[in-house]
Amino acid sequence: MELTKQEEKMLSGGQGEAVRKSMEILVALGKIFGADRLIPVSSVQIAGVSYDNLGEAGLEFLADMAKDGKARALTTLNPAGMDLENWENLGISREFADKQMLVIDAFAKMGVITSCTCTPYLIGNLPRFGEHIAWSESSAVCFANSVLGARSNREGGPSALASAITGRTPNYGMHIDANRQASVLVRVKTKIHGTSEFGALGKVIGEKAGNKIPLIRGVHEASLEELKGLCASIATYGGTAMFHIPKITPERTKVPKEAIEVSRDDIKAALESMNDECEPDFVSLGCPHLSIREIENIAGMLRGKHVKIETWLATARQTKRLADMMGYSKVIEDSGAKFACDTCMVVAPLKGRFKCLATDSAKSCFYARGKNAFKVHAGTFEQCISAAITGKWKK
Amino acid sequence: MAEIKCRAISKGTATGEVLLSSQAISFYGGVDPLTGVITEKGHPLEGKSISGKVLVFPNGKGSTVGSYALYRMKKHGSAPLAMVNRETDAIVAVGAIISGIPMVDKPESDVFTLLKDGQKVSVDGTEGKITTE
């Protein structure tokens, strides 16, 4: 890999220890993946923010980097392990909260915007078409590549941080035109509607096509919310960084020879596979984080009602502020449902607290089962809010 | 004494006993970070400690938090002394670099048949080589 004189200097420690360590990470990744050089990035999204995932060592690493590291690109954060302001209301311990705040402080010291959301594109980190970026958070990477046409590999926490501190990323993978072409054609033979069905579609495609980039035909309409749900599940269940949908996503692709079909039966089976025998004791919506339109919708359903079981609405703090201005927050909080800003059920320390989750999100189902050993119900917003009010799951 | 050329991944040198794993390792969720004991059910090294060994395995797998898990082990003193991969991946490579664990990959000969458990070798992650005694 060729480095400029300035990059050589960064690698040899001429610009401090955090820059040196970051360059070492990026040069090694470049070598492993056959990059010819480093390229500048203008936007970074860092995952690995929850103290539940980082532990003491991760915190130490971040604190070390924060000694002399400064972000050189616009950098935002993934959700933390708690609501940074209202953590007690979510049942988080003070011990955990203190550690989590040290993580946030380390990022803030580096000049990172401590936004704590998996939807950075909704709160001001919105790269344009063709822009080179270094994002972690698999759903956001998929949204950036597919929906925005920006270019990002699926970074891990440390490599995204390294890109923030150096303003660079190795030139390989999704940064190269040829690697953004579809390699599997998906014919969707049924109308897909709502976030839970788009999540189910992502699960079906992910499980059939793995990390290949699909060209999805047969989907003619998709809202912002449906696309973010599709991005989350297709990346969780398959690992792809991108998809194409004609007339919805902006990039062109050749039509691949390999083809698979998705029928109504496949969608039904996927939804059934995410519905266990149990009555919900926890409802969580907002994976990825809720948009203002989704919050408006939920407020309409909760007006004048009371929830019987713990109900979390996960969203970015900025989106919650809009909901405050519009009066949605009051309606929602009067019902007993809680906002979970800056966090979500995937990264909060919830193991052992609940047994059965109701959600619209296929991604939430994966982590609820794998990380927390919960049973799950996946369904529409209406089904989830009804479960919140009655404590019963209606098919 | 024989020398096996490799690709240099993470700087530094270390000498110690080989521990071979025929299967990939998940450092987040597959290893107890306090003891270095492999906890993944059905893994060929289940119940064995990778702490203080020259760990030879094909590649990493699983969550990107694995890099931080290696770092955590290094701080606890439970990390491998050095690592050798057939062809490494971003999670393990980044974990080795941020933890300062010497590491190489792409050895020019098949280390899985050439090396034996308990054999003493030196790994040079700066030059990119393994030296056997």
- DSSP code per residue over A221-265: ---HHHHHHHHHHHHHHT--S--B-TTTSS---PPPS-EEEE-HH
Whether chain B has a CB inside 8 Å of the CB on A156: the answer is yes
User: Please, are residues B26 and B61 in contact by the beta-carbon 8 Å criterion?
Assistant: yes
The model's confidence at residue A237, banded by pLDDT at 50, 70 and 90, is: confident
pLDDT, tens digit (0-9, with 9 covering 90-100), for A136-179:
988 999 999 999 999 999 998 999 999 999 999 999 999 999 99
CB pairs under 8 A between A and B: 75
pTM to 2 decimal places: 0.90
Q: Does A58 touch chain B (CB under 8 A)?
A: yes
The secondary structure of residue B119, as a DSSP letter, is: -
d(CA B90, CA B60): 8
pLDDT tens-digit series, residues A196-224: 999 999 999 999 998 899 999 999 999 99
- How high does pLDDT run on average in chain A? 96
Residues 9-28 of A with CB under 8 A from B: 21, 24-25, 28
Question: Which residue, A275, A237, A267, A271, is CA-closest to A356?
Answer: A275
Beta strands A38-40 and A168-170, pairing class? antiparallel
Q: Between A25, A32, A61, which is nearest B68 by CB?
A: A61
Q: Nearest residue of A to residue B10 by CA position? A: A28
pLDDT in the model for residue A245: 98
Residue A315 confidence (pLDDT) above 90: yes
- Backbone φ, ψ for residue A160 (5° rounding): -65, -40
User: Which one of A22, A25, A32 makes the best mutation probe of the B interface by having the most chain B beta carbons within 10 Å?
Assistant: A32
Question: Where does the pLDDT of residue A10 fall: very low under 50, low under 70, confident under 90, or very high at 90 and above?
Answer: very high
The residue of chain B nearest to residue A29, with distances taken between CA atoms, is: B90
Nearest to A110 by CA among A71, A74, A73, A80: A71
Q: Is a pLDDT exceeding 80 seen at residue A74?
A: yes
Percent of chain A with pLDDT strictly greater than 70:
100
User: Is A61 within 8 Å of chain B by CB?
Assistant: yes
| CB pair distance less than 8 Å for A157 and B68 | yes
Interchain contact, A28 vs B76, CB within 8 Å: no
Amino acid A231: pLDDT: 96
Which pLDDT does position B63 carry in this prediction? 66
Domain enclosing residue B95, as ranges: 2-132
The model's pLDDT over A250-299, given as tens digits with 9 standing for 90+, comes to 999 999 999 999 999 999 999 999 999 999 999 999 999 999 999 999 99
For chain A, domains (ranges, CATH) are: 5-177 (3.30.499.10), 181-263 (no CATH), 274-390 (3.30.499.10)
Q: Which residues of B touch A24 (CB under 8 A)?
A: 11, 97
**Residue A347 pLDDT exceeds 90:** no
**Do the chains contact at A158 and B72, CB–CB below 8 Å?**
no
B63 as an active site residue: the answer is yes
Of B68, B74, B66, the C-alpha closest to B14 is B74
For residues A36-48, average pLDDT: 96
Task: Count the domains in chain B.
Answer: 1
CATH number, domain containing residue B120:
3.50.30.10
Task: Output the pLDDT for position A335.
Answer: 98
pLDDT, position B64: 67
What mean pLDDT comes out for the span B76-89?
94
Q: CB-based burial of residue B92 (10 Å sphere; 0-12 exposed, 13-18 middle, 19+ buried)? A: buried
A55 and chain B: CB distance < 8 Å anywhere? Answer: yes
- Of the candidates B10, B71, B94, which has its C-beta nearest A156's C-beta? B94
| Per-residue pLDDT at B2 | 92
Q: How far apart (Å, rounded) are the C-alpha atoms in residues A199 and A240?
A: 14
Check B26, B63, B99, B109 and give the catalytic one. B63
What's the CA gap between A265 and A175, in Å, rounded? 36
Predicted pLDDT of residue A116: 97
Which of the four pLDDT bands, split at 50, 70 and 90, describes residue A324?
Answer: very high
For residue A22, the chain B residue with the least C-alpha distance is B98
Asked if A356 contacts A376 with a C-beta cutoff of 8 angstroms, the reply is yes
Spell out which residues of chain A touch residue B94, defining contact as CB-CB under 8 Å. Answer: 25, 28-29, 156, 158-159
Residue A159 sits at the chain B interface (C-beta within 8 Å): yes
* Strands ordered across the beta sheet of A184-188: A214-217, A184-188, A259-262
Model confidence pLDDT, tens digit, residues B13-69: 999 999 999 998 888 778 888 899 998 878 899 999 999 999 999 988 766 678 888
